Structure 1
């Protein structure tokens, strides 16, 4: 007897299988959207030019302020006449998502696996409110490539060799977070470092001469080590002696202070007489200056006069003088008179 097909059991199994397939497909779509994002509707498309887009793939996210707003559609090489080749990245955004005209695109690391995303930021506070039109291109002056993580991590190989894998992963992630998007700054630092190194290399002879001279100085000091030790010991003895005589030195300083005070008092007492003497000296100097000719004549005749006086005095303890002129003055009670006067008429008393 033949068995009939298509019974109630077969229909029920088909329904259960369809429901299972529908639920599985829906869960898969939700999981895919949660993990990588699925854009179900198209949006405005734009293009950005990068000098390096290594690691960026179609389907990678486009973010604004860390929030996914689109994804990368295509990456291709662009070669313009007379210009170096660049990477042309096409991406699209969600519907009704405008971009400001001063937008800046940066390729950043998403995780340590090597996934990347495009971060869109504003270059300045644009108050005009201008926006890009769909299909516009963001030029090289407003884009930044991703940090070359391979070159960076290769420089940390000696450090990584001493760390555990967990520590290496943590350190690498922190380095990426600090340095991503700072390619131009790092490039500037490396450029200045290269310039400094070149400058030092250009003065290699001068630096070598300085080192040679320093070696000679050190060698000279080393050859006079005994004398240097002796000088240091004597200096120490001198300082120790000063320390031992600090009481006497203190008393000397106090005595010097007292001497200074007494000298100041003496100068203060002697200042009026000294001022009078200085004034009298000025009068004397004026008188001498007025009679300079007479003074010079008298000084010129003094040697001859002294010679004659010596000759005269050699005959005894007396001098023979011939009186030519005499003038007498008498003062009484503040009054003065000149009653006495004498002049010899002899030829010997006459002026030449």
Structure 2
């Protein structure tokens, strides 16, 4: 039974398929499916083309995974060698015997060989040494790295501290030719002379060679310190070169100072010569008057002893002479006469009389101020 409240009641004579095709309102327009985002159907040709393009892109990217920043095999570096020595792309790259990457390419650059390689999760310094070494007895090679330096290596700057191995066949061939040209008799004579020379130094040759080996090992282990020392020496040389004019002026001033010292040396030499002459003169005077100087020195010695014995008496005399000198100065210190006063000479009942008489000025002027009659 149909619901009377349904705004769009269904017609029992029309099925659901016809209703979907005719639309919900029965107007004949096709109804849109609620789960469809696009009104039309996709073309199978376009879908297939997009799929083929995606597959081609995936296939090509699989050949260049090593070039991708996140999926690659690590940092890429270049080393310059004098020869390839049989090193090929795909050979291992090792650090301390552990594989850390592989060789990508070996190309010729003038008279040098550029070896491009990759390393993964390995620090490479700016002074890293690269060496081509033999991996198997069949001649397979690998690239050995010895990381050194204080700064990370720049991937754009090739490594130049490289060592190429010897070719065993070429080395033995060259050795055979050189050995064939040797004079056996002369070689035997040289060996006998060498044996006779070192026969008495058996106890010292070994320690000497061992000391040389230790010295070489020490220098090798201090490579970074030697590098820094050379860099500091270079900086010092640069500073000295920049201060060249100052050093020239300093050396010129030192020359003037030396000239002045030479002049003073001549003056000092003249003074020493005069002093020597004075000493010779005094020596002659002493020798000429030795008979008179001896008794005079003896008499002076006696006077000195006498003064030492009378030292306390002299001190007492000076001590007691002070009051006398004070009174003497009071009496004669006002002029060329004695001046003194006597208190209470007359009895107290008598009036005081002026017993002093001033000097006669006219008489003094006539007598020249001396007061003499």
TM-score, length-normalised on structure 1?
Answer: 0.30
Q: TM-score, normalised by structure 2?
A: 0.29
Which has the larger Rg? 2
The answer to which structure, 1 or 2, has the higher relative contact order (CA under 8 A, 6+ apart) is: 1
